[in-house]
Chain A
Amino acid sequence: MTTLVVATLSAREVRRRWAALALVIALPFWFYLVRRDATGQSMRMLTLGIGWAISTLTLFVVNASRGVDPRLRLTGASVVSIIGGRLLAMTGVGVALAAGYWLLAWLDQDVLHPWAAALMMLVSAVVAAPLGSLIGALLPRELEGALALLSVVAVQMLADPAGLTAKLMPFWSAREIGTYAVDGGSAEMVLHGLAHAGLTWLICAGGTLAVFQWRLRLARYPEP
Chain B
Amino acid sequence: MTDWPQAFEAELLRLGVQPGRARRLADETAQQAAETAGVPAEIFGPAHLYARHLVAELSAPAALSPRTRYEPGPVMLSLTGVSKRYRRQTVFTGVDLTVRGGEVAAIVGANGCGKSTLLRICAGLTRPSGGTVKRTRRVGFVPQDGGTAGWLTAEEHFTLFGAAAGMVPGRARSTGVHLATRLAWRPGRQQRAQQMSGGTRQKLNLVLGELHAPDLLLLDEPYQGFDQGTYVDFWQQVFAWRDAGRAVVVVTHLLHDLQNVDHVLDLGER
CB neighbours (8 Å) of A67 from chain B are 143, 146-149
- Pair count A-B, CB < 8 A: 92
A41 interface residue per 8 A CB criterion:
no
> Which bracket fits the contact residues of B?
35 or more
Name which residue of chain A comes closest to B137, CB basis.
Answer: A223
Choose from A65, A75, A220, A222 the contact partner of B164 (Cβ within 8 Å). A75
* Pairwise interchain contact A76-B165, C-beta atoms closer than 8 A: yes
Assembled-state Cα–Cα distance A99/B160 (Å):
29
Chain A CB within 10 Å — which of B76, B124, B160, B212 has the most? B160
Given known contacts A6-B160, A224-B77, A74 and B151 CB-to-CB distance under 8 angstroms? no
Q: Provide the residues of chain A in CB contact with B123, threshold 8 Å.
A: 74
| Segment of A8-16, A110-118, A136-144 engaged in the interface with chain B | A8-16
User: Cβ of B159 and Cβ of A5 under 8 Å apart?
Assistant: yes
Is B161 part of the contact surface with A, judged by Cβ < 8 Å?
A: yes
Question: Is B149 touching A76 in the complex (CB atoms < 8 A)?
Answer: no
Q: Does B150 contact A (CB under 8 A)?
A: yes
Q: Looking at the assembled complex, report how far the CB atom of A85 sits from the nearest CB atom of chain B, in whole angstroms.
A: 9
State whether B124 touches A6 (Cβ < 8 A).
Answer: no
B188 beta carbon closer than 8 Å to chain A: no
List 10 A-B pairs, minimum CB-CB distance, nearest first: A67-B146, A77-B164, A5-B163, A224-B75, A219-B124, A75-B164, A13-B151, A224-B134, A218-B124, A221-B135
Extra contacts, 17 of them, besides A9-B149, A222-B134 (Cβ < 8 A), are: A1-B163, A2-B163, A9-B159, A12-B152, A67-B143, A67-B148, A72-B161, A72-B164, A74-B124, A75-B140, A75-B211, A219-B121, A219-B125, A221-B124, A223-B135, A224-B77, A224-B136
